[in-house]
Amino acid sequence: MPPGKRLAALSLLLLVVTLTLWGVHPQGSEVHALGHIVLGRLNNDSSTCMDFGWEALRAGKAVYETVLFQHVAKFQYPMSSLLLYKVTVPFGLYGELTLKILSLLSFPATLLLCGEIFLLATPLKKSLSPSEKVLIRVWIAAVGLLFYPVTQASALGQIQAFLIFLWALALYFWMRGGERLSGACIGLVCVFKPQLGVFLLWAALRRRWPFFITMLGVVAITQVVTILLFGWHNEIEYLAVISYLSHHGEVYYPNQSVNGLLQRLLHTGDSLTFDAVNFPPYNRIVYLGTVLSSALLMALALLLPMVRRWRDSTLDFLFFGLIVTVASPIAWEHHYGYFFPAGIYCIAVFLYRGSRALLLGLEASFFLLALSIPSLSSLANTRWSVLVSYELFAGLVFLGTLAFLANEPKELDSVRR
């Protein structure tokens, strides 16, 4: 099947299922999120907590002690994230407005960029006519509009919408051989989400020194500027925040991580209501399960591509980045927006090579990752609560399928052309 028809079938099927789910549960659907984006009625998910951090900083107080540990707001971002406020506030762009603008701009930019990623990745790019390329871009944009983690990130006014764009841009630069630019993009992601700093270890093990040096440079410069502007105390205090988050995690059902799954299975708190100031109590089983699963996933991400000698460095890059997301103690639904650019790349690459069954598994997991099924939350306090973590399991299936496909031969299968 030609790539355009394959993408058209995927987007149309996604549209039918999305509209069906919307009819069953209008709130919390892709359609609901898209409505907020189109009307410009974005939420203030990130700015709410960042505003408290900024005000504490301006008052000369210890930021995390004042905001997070005093249960005022869940300001979990590193101090470097407030550089955004430092730059924009003097121009009259207060935090909420800045983040909404970033979300609104990042959303279409990501959709357009993913079309270019597909066209760059497909082995048939030279044989596609201009009209076919336009249609492919349109169908990919349609899939992106219906990919819930991406639309939800924007609808929430989340900084994550901007980070998804940076992730897609890092992928695009990597595909074009621009390792330095790719490393710079991941370094910028670390300004807000420092857990991606482990990419430095990945790059060192792979001896990708241009990526490593540029990423390290961006991280180092932003941290030095942060310390000079905001002081040492808050920077050091963030280490306590990281420890606290790893020991507690989140019980609210959109936390699609192993930690979230264990919290719900052990009933550590109310998983149907988001607590804006408090975290669930420490639970030894949840903590050990989180640490062990994260360590296992990280070891797999670092070692498997090396042991299996993957030929496609882009797959190695994506595999590691996605596992870092899944292995985090707190992985909200919108964090799974990273799977959209990755899925587009993988579909383009494997559409004409490898096992049909594996390709179907990849597409099925990608399809499930795109969906919002809020009605499943009703199972959170039942024996079927494991089904609430469908994004987690879909992500793991996607990664497992990717790992098997990564060793498939690169030659096109003439029967499937």
92 token code pair: 């009259």
- Whether 81 and 195 have beta carbons less than 8 Å apart is answered as no
Other CB atoms closer than 10 Å to residue 266's CB: what's the count?
A: 14
User: What's the longest Cα–Cα distance across the chain?
Assistant: 68
- Burial bucket for residue 93 (CB in 10 Å: 0-12, 13-18, 19+): middle
Q: Encode pLDDT of 120-174 as tens digits.
A: 999 888 888 999 999 999 999 999 999 999 999 999 999 999 999 999 999 999 9
145 to 24, 167, 223, 370: CA distances (angstroms) = 20, 17, 35, 10
CA atoms within 13 A on the CB side of 303: 6
Q: Supply the pLDDT for residue 410.
A: 62
Kind plus residue range of the DSSP H or E element containing 168: helix 159-175
Per-block mean pLDDT, blocks of 10 residues, the chain (417 long): 84 91 76 84 90 95 95 95 92 86 95 97 88 94 95 94 98 97 98 96 97 98 96 94 95 96 93 92 97 97 94 96 96 97 96 85 96 88 89 97 84 41
DSSP symbols for 31-79: HHHHHHHHTT----HHHHHHHHHHHHHHTT--HHHHHTTTTS----S-G
DSSP 3-state percent helix, strand, coil across the chain (nearest 5): 75, 0, 25
Backbone φ, ψ for residue 171 (5° rounding): -65, -45
What whole-number distance in Å separates Cα of residue 190 and Cα of residue 164? 12
The residue written with tokens 């762009």 in the block is 93
Quick one: angle between helices 30-38 and 148-155, nearest 10? 40
Q: Which two tokens mark 13?
A: 């099927």
What are 171's two structure tokens? 């992928």
Alpha carbons 206 and 113: distance in angstroms, whole number: 26
pTM: 0.95
